[in-house]
Structures are given as structure tokens and as C-alpha cells.
Amino acid sequence: MILHPRTLTARILGAGDGATRVHPHGQRRNSAPRVEDRRAAGLHRRVGSAEAGHAASEAGEGQAGPLDGRWHGCEVFCFASGPSLTREDAESVRRWRDASPTTRKVITVNTTHRIAPWADAVFALDLKWWQHEDNADVYHFAGAKFSSSFSGRGVVKLQRPFEHHGNSGAAAVSLAYMFGAARIYLLGYDCQRTGGKVHWHGDHPKGLGNAGSMPTWAKKFQRCAEHVRVPVINCTRSTALTCWPRQELEQVIG
């Protein structure tokens, strides 16, 4: 039996609160109770062809894993947490997405799920971010939840060869690419202080970082740009990124 990637992923996410880990090319490990293992048996079966996911074809595998290609051919917006991101722009993208929800998707980064609780997915790299009590609301996020450092409570942990490039914003781009996006748009990717701020939501609470590694971001995004082989357009209002072409948001969403 061949399972559609959406169905397969939904069943994985619904397998309970045990720690679920999904390798992007189909290797699945589950530390949930054994009854959940039995329920989930066989869910790692590979689906689709090599064309269904960019990551699988580049790895030289003949078939895509349960996540590869789930958004094959879609246009995907990635929302980072830069201070130029506004609720008005997020709502504009929401209307654009809702006009064609099967071919248009949105991934949010870290706390930015709060400005777009309707988004299709959230990615956060930092383990401490997932564990901080101030971020407990993310577990009520209705979309899919992904990380490369945390699993459990409905969060899927992506294993290598998924490339997170050491940055949640870059990881979101890589995730969209792995999902088979035909074109990726960026919003909130300031990668600089804008108006004296580093996040649209203000500083993270005590115990979490606040863009202290910003000087290293340019190199990380450059590596991401070399890895992602579909068009990426930066629609961020104010940005220091130079590795992708820029375009006004209004020109993209009409």
C-alpha cells in the first residue's frame, strides 16, 4: 500500500507524545511506548518517485521518504523573526495562501508561529527554545512542528542528511526545499538590526539567545543558497542578505 505523504506525516504526528524521529529519507525511529510502535508499524515505507523530492534525488536514492516531496511543485513562504516582519504582511500572505491552499504553503520560524498561527509548519532549531516555559504555546500550534534537536509532544525531529545550516531561518528554507517546493519566498529575514531591534516580537526571555551569532549568519545562508537549487526570492522589507534576489512582497502576491 502506498501512503500519500500528507497522510503518512499526519499519522506520524498523531502517534502520541512519545519521541518520534523521522530521517528525511525515510529512516524512522520511535521511542514511544510499544503499543504506539505497533500502531505505527510500516509507516516508514517510502512513497513517490525521485522527482517527488529534491533531497532524495540529490542523495542518490531511488525514492523519496515520508516527508520528501509532500509539497511538490508548491510555492512556499518562509517567515523568520526579523523586526521588519509585520502582522499586516503576514495577513497578506495568509490571503494569498488561502486562495490556493493546496499549492501555496507557509513555514514559520521559532516564535513567529504567533504572528501566523494558521501557517502550515513551524521549525525551531534551538533545544532550549522548545524547552522554555514561555514557549509552551507552540505545542498548541495546529500545523506540523519540526526541529533538528528536539522530539516529542508532536514535534518531528529531522535527522541528517537534512541540512539545517546552524540557523533556524536557513533550516526553514532547507525544509521547504526538501518538501519539494518549486519556488521559495522569504519574509522577516532581516539578518540585521532594524530600528534597533533584532526580532519583531522583542527579545527572547532570559535563558535564550537574542541573535548573538548574527555575524556568522551571512556564511550560513550562503551555504544554504548553494544547497537549495530552486528559485528563492527575498521579500523582506529590510534585509542584509545578498545571496538571493529581492522582490517586493506586493509583486509576488499581487
Give the model's confidence band at 207: pLDDT under 50 very low, under 70 low, under 90 confident, else very high.
low
Size of the chain in residues: 254
Per-residue pLDDT at 228: 96
Residues of the chain by 3-state class (helix, strand, coil), percent to 5 = 35, 15, 50
Bigger pLDDT: 63 or 18?
18
Distance CA 49, CA 63 (A): 5
Please report, as a single letter, which amino acid is at residue 224. C
Which pLDDT belongs to residue 64?
Answer: 34
Scored b (16 or more CB within 10 A) or e, 26-62 reads bebebebeeebeeebeebbebbbebebbbbbbeeebe
pLDDT above 70 (res 74): yes
Residue where the block lists cell 510499544: 34
- Look at the pTM and tell me if it is higher than 0.85: no
